[in-house]
Chains A and B, each alone.
Chain A
Amino acid sequence: DVKVTQSSRYLVKRTGEKVFLECVQDMDHENMFWYRQDPGLGLRLIYFSYDVKMKEKGDIPEGYSVSREKKERFSLILESASTNQTSMYLCASSALATNYEQYFGPGTRLTVT
């Protein structure tokens, strides 16, 4: 059974803290993605990676960075958390071909106070 796991389901952090969100997939997928989900806005792409140590900015990369040191692991980093980064964060992975669906993790609901 395919699996994408995220390190936390719920996280509460203070403004200015450095936050790490971890994502691991066990399907040997080349592509990994970080999305942010907000009510009325759907899911928006923050960053994606198509290979180890490779990363590309998505639509809303400001305030975020990523790391992919191993194929199965893709980390999202909030260098200095702010209240407007309170959101649901979803990690996904997919194989290379165009018609392969993305598999999503359970999501991390981050609250920044």
Chain B
Amino acid sequence: AQKITQTQPGMFVQEKEAVTLDCTYDTSDQSYGLFWYKQPSSGEMIFLIYQGSYDEQNATEGRYSLNFQKARKSANLVISASQLGDSAMYFCAMREPPPGRRALTFGSGTRLQVQP
């Protein structure tokens, strides 16, 4: 069974600084996908970034990058130049490959607060 661990229940960061949100995972599959989602106080889940297990390069999307270390089974999210609008819950998730159930397994989340 897959498992995602997010060990930081809450994080604070100053505006314009970079922050790293930790995520470790456990799986016996060779092929899998890793995702990060943002959930603002309004409640909607917003997809941020995806990393495939066979991707050799770390994924990047604007100010978001995923620090993928396969041997350590970690997939940390790095947010550069934090903005006040980045304050939210952040979830790391993993997806099983077909013929698996295709659902996401989520971590417990990290609440990020960006301070002015």
Chain A positions within 8 Å of B, measured between CB atoms, are: 31, 33, 35, 40-45, 48, 50, 56, 58, 88, 90, 92, 94, 96, 98-99, 101-107, 109
Give the contacts of B71-116 with A (CB-CB under 8 A): 91, 93, 95, 97-98, 101-109
B103 is contacted by which of A33, A40, A41 (Cβ under 8 Å)? A33
Query: In the complex the two chains form, what is the Cα distance from A106 to B102 in whole Å?
Result: 21
Interface of A is mostly: strand
Show the binding face of B for A, using Cβ within 8 Å.
4, 6, 9, 31, 33, 35, 37, 42-45, 47, 50, 52, 91, 93, 95, 97-98, 101-109
A48-B101, A90-B45, A107-B43 are contacts. A98–B106 as well, Cβ < 8 Å? Answer: no
In the complex, are the beta carbons of B45 and A99 less than 8 A apart? Answer: no
